[in-house]
Structure 1
Amino acid sequence: MGKILFKDKDLVVPGDILAEGMDYLPSGGCVRKKDKIVADHLGLVSLNKRFVNVIPLTGNYIPKIGDTVIAEVVDMGFNGWYLNVGGPYEASLMLKDVSEFIEKDSDLSQFYNFGDLIIAKVSRVTRYSNINLTTKGPGLRNIKGGKVISVTPSKVPRIIGKQGSMVQLLKEKTNCKIVVGQNGKIWIEGNDSNDELKVTEAILMIEHESHTDGLTDKIKAFLESKK
């Protein structure tokens, strides 16, 4: 009979034994060593039935297909643009993957220029770390207006919340438009700068206190106190 040695949301360090026996399976941030599951990241334990996971508290963004990201244009060539997504490698946005129709030999800087921030999706990641983006899809576009803030990528799931509950709370209490990139970049646009500041403060609070219980109620109370 297997045994879990930590509770959900417990803080663990590399080398901690999370479970004993073969009844449980490692699903990320931990590995099996014989009949034990051992943490190989600093992070928080996440238990889901038979699966044991460690959610990292630190670390660079690792792109996955389907991720929404906010990326900065850092270079361009004949066939497209190269963007910084905050990971170890740049990503490519090719002409065939943008929503606009662009004629051959067009000045690409008229569409996306150096320093532009773009909401895009990761469409392809190869074993050789080639990353392709697309702007074909609802809400994918060049950012005009608002502000972009940065958080630790590993804290993004907490900011989004279960089934989007936390980010929905932020939107409802501030009337701001919010796009959370899996790479830790978050776009905020409100009716005025005060609304944007309120969202920013709430998001940074979530980032810094992501491991605490009752965080949703705390954020709700904070936002209501700022009216």
Structure 2
Amino acid sequence: MAEQRRLVLPGELIARGEYKLNQRDYMYVYVEGDKIYAAVPCVVTIKEKEIHIIPLESVYIPKPGDLVIGLVETFMLTHWEVDINSPYTAVLHASNVLGRPFIPSKDNLKDYLSPGDYVLAKIEVFDRTRDPVLTVRGDKKLGRITEGKIIEIKPSRVPKVIGRKGSMLNIIKGDTGCDIEVGANGRIWIRCPNKDLEDIVTLAINLIEREAFTPKLAEKVRVLIADEKHERGLI
């Protein structure tokens, strides 16, 4: 059988039947019965009965201890299902949010988190054999996000937004006076004294994402912030 190579998009059928994949490649697909679908944009090579995946853009793969910003999708009897901008859907148990055992006859999960809510959490458990488990315990900043703005970038650009030893993030915080939490999953929570500064931070982060590998990026960010503050009468 000749080698087949093609570009596929998320949700597109890759193959049907019994095929062999490397363990690493399972993070880029999902399987339903005997059908294999793409979870991310990728180039797929099929030869004989083997499939090889080359992702076109890195995706967020959870690791225990990661700080993430999740979007509540739905709730079940004892937990919420949370979108963490990953091929994997996370689980947040009610007892973790309540800080005590969940009592079905007494507790209504909608009173605590509803679909559409954002939550700042950490990955507590994940080993790729089951959905990642979130926790909002152990740090007072964790929990439902009730103010500010959430923006999304490619997870692969998160290290650039943070910078070496936090240098880039410190520039943005210091020059704007905003509080910023950067999720490892590519979601960023911004809280600023006013809407203009919120917009400036957004522009700065978009610049970093767009020009992540250009020289003198920190200087460009400083100039952008200064120029925007001047134009808006903030300095």
Same fold, TM-score > 0.5, yes or no: yes
Query: Runs of 5+ in structure 2 lacking a partner?
Result: 1-41, 43-54, 230-235
Q: Deviations over 1:60-92 (max 9, x none)?
A: 211111111100111111211110001112100
Aligned amino acid, residue 188 of structure 2: I
What's the counterpart of residue 135 of structure 2?
A: 134
Is residue 78–residue 102 contact of structure 2 (8 Å, CA) maintained in 1?
no
What's the counterpart of residue 122 of structure 1?
A: 123
TM value normalised by structure 1: 0.72
Is residue 94–residue 102 contact of structure 2 (8 Å, CA) maintained in 1?
no
Query: CA offset at residue 100 of structure 1?
Result: 4.3
Distance in 2, matches of 1:97 and 1:161, equals 32
Q: Secondary structure at the match of 1:220?
A: helix
Q: Secondary structure at the match of 1:226?
A: helix
Q: Deviations over 1:87-124 (max 9, x none)?
A: 11210001232264465120011011111000000011
Distance in 2, matches of 1:114 and 1:202, equals 30
Is residue 57–residue 154 contact of structure 1 (8 Å, CA) maintained in 2?
no
Distance in 1, matches of 2:133 and 2:188, equals 20
Q: How does 1:165-204 map to 2 (within 5 A)?
A: 165-204=167-206
Is residue 120–residue 136 contact of structure 2 (8 Å, CA) maintained in 1?
yes
Call closer, same or farther: CA 1:66–1:93 in 2, change over 3 Å.
Answer: same
Give 4+ residue runs of structure 1 displaced > 3 Å after superposition: 99-103
**What is the number of equivalent residue pairs in this alignment?**
173
Query: CA offset at residue 182 of structure 1?
Result: 0.7
What's the counterpart of residue 48 of structure 2?
A: none
Aligned amino acid, residue 66 of structure 2: D
Distance in 1, matches of 2:95 and 2:102, equals 11
TM-align CA RMSD: 1.8
Q: How does 1:92-171 map to 2 (within 5 A)?
A: 92-98=91-97, 100-101=99-100, 104-105=103-104, 106-138=107-139, 139-171=141-173
Call closer, same or farther: CA 1:126–1:218 in 2, change over 3 Å.
Answer: same
Query: CA offset at residue 185 of structure 1?
Result: 0.6
Q: Secondary structure at the match of 1:96?
A: helix
Query: CA offset at residue 169 of structure 1?
Result: 1.0
TM value normalised by structure 2: 0.69
Distance in 1, matches of 2:98 and 2:163, equals 30
What's the counterpart of residue 76 of structure 2?
A: 77
Query: Runs of 5+ in structure 1 lacking a partner?
Result: 1-41, 43-55
Distance in 1, matches of 2:56 and 2:162, equals 16
Is residue 94–residue 109 contact of structure 2 (8 Å, CA) maintained in 1?
no
Distance in 2, matches of 1:93 and 1:180, equals 20
Q: Which has the higher helix share?
A: 2
